[in-house]
Chains A and B, each alone.
Chain A
Amino acid sequence: MTENFNVDFKENNGQLDIALSGQLTINSIKKITEDIKSHIKNPKSVSVSVKDVDNIDLTFIQLLQSIKNSGKKNGYEVSFSMKLPEDLSALLKNAGFSNYIN
């Protein structure tokens, strides 16, 4: 089966950039999480950017929150940027997650 999501990592001087796109839902979330966990070693800061999203669900929001909590615990900065199609953006807003979208 071909993956219907994409995770890219870029590391530069302790600054880790993670770019995500595609299906960001419960079906792919385990792989995404493992991927991210294996790349976050000891960064100074992590920046997550999400775009070209086909679908998104709660598991992904929880993943973002979890990265943030890990940063707090291990002392690195975490920032998000998320570009979503209108319908998904409305869905997240209605679920009380408007603070994740910009």
Chain B
Amino acid sequence: MLDKFKAKFVEESMDNLQDLEESLFLLEKDLENKELIERIFRAMHSLKGGGAMFGFNHLSDFTHHLETIFDWVRNNKLAVTSDLITLTFSAIDHIKNLIKTGDLTDEQELKGHNQFILRLQSVLSDSASTLSVHSTVDSQNINDEISESKTYLINFIPQEELLQNGTNPLYLLDDIHALGEAISIAYTHKVPSLELIDITANYCLWQILLNTSESLNEIKDVFIFVEDECELQIDLIADSNILQKPECIEIIKKARKGNSLLKIEDFQSLSQLKPSSQELESGEEKKKITAIKEHKISSIRVASHKIDELVTLVSELVTIQAQLSLYSESNEDPVIVSLSENIQKLSRQLRENAFDISLIPLQSELMRFQRLVRDLSKDQGKDIDFVIEGGDLELDKNIIEHLTDPLLHILRNSIDHGIELPEERISSGKSPKGTILFKAFHSGANVIIEVSDDGKGMDLEYIRQKAISKEIVDQNAVLTDKEVLDLLFVSGFSTKDAVSDVSGRGVGMDVVRRKIANIRGEVSIDTEKGKGTTITIRLPLTLSIIDGLLVKVGANQYVIPISAIDKIHALDPSQLKKSFNNVVVLDKEQIPYIDLRKVFNAPEVEHDVIQMVMIKAEDRITGVIVDSVIGEYQTVVKPLGRYLKKQEILSGATIMGDGTLAMVVDTSRLLMERKSKKVAG
């Protein structure tokens, strides 16, 4: 039981820390921003309190000192400096550690912890000597006393839940009376008879005529804690006290008798107000009420495994639905066919909905990148502006989880090897401050993430020479620029000893590509010597369901993702026979092709027409030959078990309507496989 709370605390604290880091970044740009300081203070305060409650004593103690520092800051006893921000950043790292591991037991760690606390304390003692206490100038608002009193008509229409939420409206009405002279009209006509009444619900509403010299704000404040639970409208109806006028008393009597609500117009003859100002005031009030109403809960927190579960269930539903539509087609019962179509429509909507829910904004990870850029560039004496575009873009959380490491790697490369030192940059005619642009955007069914720097770029010739020396390519091989850059992704091109390598990138790019490929993404590099480098990552929107083309190769069925397919061509078998080096000529264009029958060791059967699926990748078309095309198929991809991991060109499996298995072809791996064979030999 307690563990559940603890886990919740840990999760919330991590959120809190993220907010804290974000605020610190902003504060660094705007050192005196009160709101940010307050946010930081609050985050620390909650960490401290929660920590103590859930047995994180070191955490609580540590944040207490940090909280004190920011308490001084917000009370103008201490100024925010860049040093303080740096100290706070490292304190946040320490806090993260304390949350993950709980109280420290290792002696060495404890020593470090205590030293850190001393450092925090010294911040306060250092500043205490130069302390200048600003007395907070209180803006005690002495109301501009209006000598003349005004008369207002207040409409107070509470919701049914008002009483259950603990409000006693009688008190509020009493408080209104305390503001001046008032007459309340209670409307009870909505109270049901005994058989129907929910006795704790509120059925009453009120109109109050109030003559007061207090300000409108003072009146509104009576309802401050019920504003979400009622409709409230306050209209000025007269610039003087009209309550005792006989006409007014008559109007009120009529309203009480007839249970008919008072309208502002009823008082027109009594008031000397110009209608325009009257409208203005009530209009403003209405606007405020709607603004409050819109302020309701707009998001809820759900455990991520629940979302995984939902997605799995939806995936199952999609599978069953596929079975149903196969059955209905073979059955030709019109009722079943139309039912099946409806279910298909619904499950498609449901699927889209569920996936939408499982998307989270990239923003959540960006903080780590910002930290990396900030810390590394400070370490290396580089001045780097980290610009983020499209941080609000949303991605499947499973993709984001796998994306962080490769992206950190890419950024690290940019800082280590891309961006030059300020003096170097000046001498090559650039501004001393380098820029790394992180850009995320949608492109069709894909998400593109670009990381570009304006650093020194890569030396292609150097890469080529290195590949030759490592015997990755033949000395005489003619390579395009793109092919040279692709060498960076070949495993073994760069090793750990290449870290100091001046030519730059390549450090672990093979790992980056592999990790991105695991989430069905692609990586490419563009570089210009002296100008900079751009790494582009292309990702699918989601992992678990794809629209595919079902094809047959030999006795087996395979699924090729629709997103990769350009079109389907029918070939005359003779064209293939004439082909040389696996290239066919179509519309005068040379198209390389892969025969899946050979890849999967299926017997070659003679067909009248050969089906070739054209796959588009990296601006190139490659044909894939299959025995037959069955049709489009929406499919749930299940990860392959370990025993099939070796089959790299398959990314997963899917269960067909009739219970048989179909493999999902990973087109980018398929093409890569083909290319690497060519490069190698």
Q: Are chains A and B touching directly in their complex (CB below 8 angstroms)? A: yes
Which residues of A does B touch, CB under 8 Å?
26, 29-30, 33, 36-37, 40, 57-59, 61-63, 65-67, 69-70, 73-74, 90-92, 94-97
Residues of B within 8 A of A90 (CB): 174
CB contact between B192 and one of A29, A40, A58, A66 (< 8 Å): that residue: A66
Residues of B within 8 A of A65 (CB): 188, 191
- Interface 1/0s, chain B 180-214, versus A by CB < 8 A? 00111110100111110101101110101000000
Q: Determine if B170 is an interface residue (Cβ-Cβ < 8 Å).
A: yes
Please state if A33 and B174 are interface contacts (CB–CB under 8 Å). no
In whole Å, how far is A64's beta carbon from the nearest beta carbon of chain B?
9
Please state if A63 and B199 are interface contacts (CB–CB under 8 Å). yes
Residues of A within 8 A of B208 (CB): 96
Please state if B184 and A67 are interface contacts (CB–CB under 8 Å). no
CB contact between B185 and one of A58, A62, A70, A96 (< 8 Å): that residue: A96
Residue ID in chain A nearest B158 by CB atoms: A58
CA of A66 to CA of B196 in the docked complex: distance in angstroms?
A: 9
Please state if B177 and A62 are interface contacts (CB–CB under 8 Å). no
A95-B206 contact, Cβ under 8 Å, with A29-B200, A57-B168: yes
CB-defined A-B contacts under 8 Å, sample of 29: A26-B200, A29-B199, A29-B200, A33-B197, A36-B194, A57-B168, A58-B169, A58-B170, A58-B204, A59-B200, A61-B188, A62-B188, A62-B202, A62-B203, A63-B199, A66-B192, A66-B193, A66-B194, A66-B199, A69-B193, A70-B193, A70-B194, A70-B195, A91-B174, A92-B170, A94-B176, A94-B177, A96-B186, A97-B186
A95-B199 contact, Cβ under 8 Å, with A37-B194, A66-B193: no
In whole Å, how far is B539's beta carbon from the nearest beta carbon of chain A?
56
Chain A interface SS verdict (over half):
helix
CA of A62 to CA of B186 in the docked complex: distance in angstroms?
A: 11
Residues of A within 8 A of B202 (CB): 58, 62
CA of A61 to CA of B186 in the docked complex: distance in angstroms?
A: 11
Residues of B within 8 A of A73 (CB): 193
CA of A85 to CA of B206 in the docked complex: distance in angstroms?
A: 24
Residue ID in chain A nearest B252 by CB atoms: A96
CB contact between B194 and one of A29, A61, A67, A92 (< 8 Å): that residue: A67
Q: Determine if B367 is an interface residue (Cβ-Cβ < 8 Å).
A: no
A62-B191 contact, Cβ under 8 Å, with A30-B200, A57-B168, A95-B170: yes
Interface centre among B169, B194, B197 (most CB of A within 10 A): B194
Residues of A within 8 A of B177 (CB): 94
A33-B173 contact, Cβ under 8 Å, with A62-B188, A67-B194, A94-B182: no
In whole Å, how far is B363's beta carbon from the nearest beta carbon of chain A?
45
Residues of A within 8 A of B185 (CB): 96
8 Å CB interface, B9-66 against A? none
In whole Å, how far is B187's beta carbon from the nearest beta carbon of chain A?
8
A96-B173 contact, Cβ under 8 Å, with A59-B163, A63-B199: yes
CA of A77 to CA of B221 in the docked complex: distance in angstroms?
A: 42
In whole Å, how far is A99's beta carbon from the nearest beta carbon of chain B?
8
Interface size on B, residues (CB 8 A): 28
CB contact between B169 and one of A36, A69, A74, A95 (< 8 Å): that residue: A95
CA of A94 to CA of B170 in the docked complex: distance in angstroms?
A: 8
CA of A62 to CA of B206 in the docked complex: distance in angstroms?
A: 14
Residues of A within 8 A of B195 (CB): 37, 70
Residues of A within 8 A of B168 (CB): 57-58
Residues of A within 8 A of B194 (CB): 33, 36-37, 40, 66-67, 69-70
Residues of A within 8 A of B173 (CB): 94-96
Please state if B191 and A69 are interface contacts (CB–CB under 8 Å). yes
Closest 6 CB pairs of A and B: A96-B186, A96-B184, A70-B193, A95-B173, A65-B191, A70-B194
In whole Å, how far is A71's beta carbon from the nearest beta carbon of chain B?
9
CA of A67 to CA of B200 in the docked complex: distance in angstroms?
A: 15
Residues of B within 8 A of A59 (CB): 163, 199-200
Residues of B within 8 A of A26 (CB): 163, 200
Residues of A within 8 A of B199 (CB): 29-30, 33, 59, 62-63, 66
CA of A74 to CA of B195 in the docked complex: distance in angstroms?
A: 11
Residues of B within 8 A of A69 (CB): 191-194
CA of A74 to CA of B202 in the docked complex: distance in angstroms?
A: 23
CA of A90 to CA of B199 in the docked complex: distance in angstroms?
A: 23
CB contact between A66 and one of B171, B176, B191 (< 8 Å): that residue: B191
CA of A65 to CA of B188 in the docked complex: distance in angstroms?
A: 7
Please state if B182 and A62 are interface contacts (CB–CB under 8 Å). no
Residue ID in chain B nearest A31 by CB atoms: B199
Please state if A95 and B184 are interface contacts (CB–CB under 8 Å). yes
Residues of A within 8 A of B169 (CB): 58, 95
CA of A33 to CA of B208 in the docked complex: distance in angstroms?
A: 29
In whole Å, how far is A18's beta carbon from the nearest beta carbon of chain B?
12
Residues of B within 8 A of A91 (CB): 170-171, 174
CA of A73 to CA of B193 in the docked complex: distance in angstroms?
A: 8
Please state if B182 and A95 are interface contacts (CB–CB under 8 Å). no
CB contact between B186 and one of A29, A66, A70, A95 (< 8 Å): that residue: A95
Residue ID in chain A nearest B195 by CB atoms: A70
CA of A98 to CA of B619 in the docked complex: distance in angstroms?
A: 84
Residues of B within 8 A of A37 (CB): 194-195
Residue ID in chain A nearest B202 by CB atoms: A58
CA of A7 to CA of B170 in the docked complex: distance in angstroms?
A: 23
In whole Å, how far is B571's beta carbon from the nearest beta carbon of chain A?
81
CA of A63 to CA of B173 in the docked complex: distance in angstroms?
A: 19
In whole Å, how far is B428's beta carbon from the nearest beta carbon of chain A?
78
Residue ID in chain A nearest B166 by CB atoms: A26
Residues of B within 8 A of A33 (CB): 194, 197, 199
In whole Å, how far is B652's beta carbon from the nearest beta carbon of chain A?
58
Residues of B within 8 A of A61 (CB): 188, 204
A94-B186 contact, Cβ under 8 Å, with A57-B168, A66-B193, A69-B193: no
Interface centre among A26, A59, A92, A95 (most CB of B within 10 A): A95
Residues of B within 8 A of A97 (CB): 186
CA of A61 to CA of B197 in the docked complex: distance in angstroms?
A: 13
